[in-house]
Amino acid sequence: MAALLRARAIYDFNSENPGEVSVRENEIVSLYSEQDIEGWLEGTNSKGERGLFPASYVEILRGDNNNTLGDAQSESRYANVPSAAGVDNAFPPPAQQPTYQQPSQGSDDDWDDDWDDNSTVAEEPGTTGNRYRDFDGNGASTYSVSTCSTARGQHPKSSATVSRNLNRFSTFVKSGGEAFVLGEAAGFVKDGDKICVVMGQHGPEWQENPYPFTCTIDDPTKQTKFKGMKSYMSYKLTPTHTQEQVNRRYKHFDWLYARLVEKFPVISVPHIPEKQATGRFEEDFISKRRKGLIWWMNHMTSHPVLARCDVFQHFLTCSTDEKAWKMGKRKAEKDEMVGANFFLTISTPAAPLDFQEVESKIDGFKAFTKRLDDSTLQLNATAGEFARKQMSGFRKEYHKMGVSFKVLSQAFEMDQQVYSAGLNQAISFTGDAFESIGDYFADQPNKDLDPIMDLLALYQGHLANYPDIIHVQKGALTKVKESQRHVEEGKMEAAQAEGITERCNIISCATLAEIQHFHQIRVRDFRAQMQHFLTQQMAFFHKITATLEEALRKYDAA
């Protein structure tokens, strides 16, 4: 049977751990079974090396190869990411965020000059911003509280009571979700770190921030260092709770984002605006980035958990003292309560959730996010095209009308009739009015469509986060079902299964609280933005009407 089953690699896969084999794109491999073990297949590559490779990296060859290939390509948005075992395939965890780039050192000009040149904290290149580094086995030295070995190197036919997910790409594994559910997370939770999920009207929700605040971001100024050799943009941040201004650069936001992503496995950290290598000091780009950062900040300060966390507060409040900044930075980078341990800090409502109800809610939310993703993409494309049309076609049509009116008034001026002079001027003025209206159309998208598109970009970032978040919750639920089965089969102690259920409850509470927060903030944001949009549109058409009225008045005297 083994010799008969073949598959073709559809992506390169480089073996990085014992037991794995590398395959090249289009390489034909023999399989021992077409049944994957938690996302991995065992087989022999063309060099005769035997081992494991991700199931989603290959397509099994049958009679109808073309069709199989077609299927493999149909989900191209996430196609180069192996799917997670035991979890619905509709939301495979993306290796990279599809909307915004992953923050990383060296890829953006902002990082040209390291703002922490004298840092004594050793950082490996590529460490910062890698959301799951602790669970990849890289940089594990900074994750000292982990009490268990990671999954790497273990054979799929493990004899562990509850099997481990061998797929190193699984968000459930990387986020620390699996480690926590299996009771492997441990750490000392200070009272200040405690995060409460309370039972609200619509289900679990994050306890509100008792000290809400906001933070303004002023126009950035261009700064130089090294005697003008290096220059960068510095943003002035003023949080309402301190009223003290701090200066931050884009790379500071980038660093903070990386910390937050690492720390909170089931919280949707808003993406920071896209990086741009060229034109960093151009007005348009600066304005666009600032607007993006304002949106980001708004979402950060609105979030009951993110707004209060230490690393964000350090970012917002640590002023010009270089030493204090570095201390806080190092503390954040050494934070033990990240990933799996984050779940230790969560306190849940007394009554445990009904997992069936949770599952149904999560499934509903998944369908909702899929639909919302599609509709925001559509609205974004339409708004972008509408903006482009207003700036080109609409403007041109009104301009052409304006020019034609002016040409008519110039012809009229040749008539040498005194009584026509007033009319000639009025028509000329009408020409100017239409040219102005053309300009209004060109200027308008910046005032109403751009903010809509900024909002959509932010939410597309959130929507890209949710597959991972849902994945973690679903992974936990799978472990619960597995443990219950094991108990029934007498392979596991009931107490151990209960622990898994309790920890799954914590993850579920956090996930539902985050979803609830998403809904609330979504309604708030879209209501405000639609109101802003309509108000701006009305002001726009009012302005046009006023311009026309001014032109009309010229005919009274004509």
DSSP class per residue in 359-407: HHHHHHHHHHHHHHHHHHHHHHHHHHHHHHHIIIIIHHHHHHHHHHHHH
Annotated binding-site ranges: 249, 251, 289
Q: Which stretch binds its own copies (CB under 8 A): 36-44, 95-103, 286-294, 541-549?
A: 541-549
**The residue to which tokens 């507060």 are assigned:** 313
| Distance in Å, CB of 409 to its own copies, minimum | 9
Per the CB < 8 A criterion, the answer to whether 170 and 85 are in contact is: yes
Should residue 415 be labelled a site residue for its own copies when binding is judged by CB under 8 A?
yes
4-30 as b/e: b if 16+ CB within 10 A: ebebbbbbebeeeeebbbbbeeebebb
| Interface with its own copies in residues 507-526 (CB under 8 A) | 519-520, 522-523, 526
Sign of the alpha-carbon torsion through 59, 61, 67, 69: positive
| Interface with its own copies in residues 200-239 (CB under 8 A) | 202
| Distance in Å, CB of 292 to its own copies, minimum | 21
Closest C-alpha among 15, 6, 82 to residue 51:
15
DSSP class per residue in 299-351: HHHH-TTTTT-HHHHHHHH--S-HHHHHHHHHHHHT-SSSGGGGGGGEE--SS
Nearer residue to its own copies within complex by CB, 83 or 99: 99
Closest C-alpha among 519, 525, 512 to residue 266:
512
Integer-rounded Cα Rg, in Å, for the chain is 29
Q: Which amino acid is at 170?
A: S
Should residue 67 be labelled a site residue for its own copies when binding is judged by CB under 8 A?
no
Residue span 428-467 as binding mask against its own copies, x where in contact by CB under 8 A, dash where not:
--x-------------------------------------
Residue span 150-189 as binding mask against its own copies, x where in contact by CB under 8 A, dash where not:
----------------------------------------
| Distance in Å, CB of 360 to its own copies, minimum | 10
| Distance in Å, CB of 433 to its own copies, minimum | 8
Residue of 378, 491, 494, 498 that binds its own copies (CB under 8 A)? 378
User: How many Cβ atoms sit within 10 Å of the Cβ of residue 67?
Assistant: 10
| Distance in Å, CB of 521 to its own copies, minimum | 12
Contacts with its own copies by CB under 8 A lie at 202, 364-365, 367-368, 371-372, 374-376, 378-379, 382-383, 385-386, 389-390, 393-394, 397, 400-401, 403-405, 407-408, 410-412, 414-420, 423, 426-427, 430, 519-520, 522-523, 526-527, 530-531, 534-535, 537-538, 541-542, 544-545, 548-549, 551-552, 555, 558
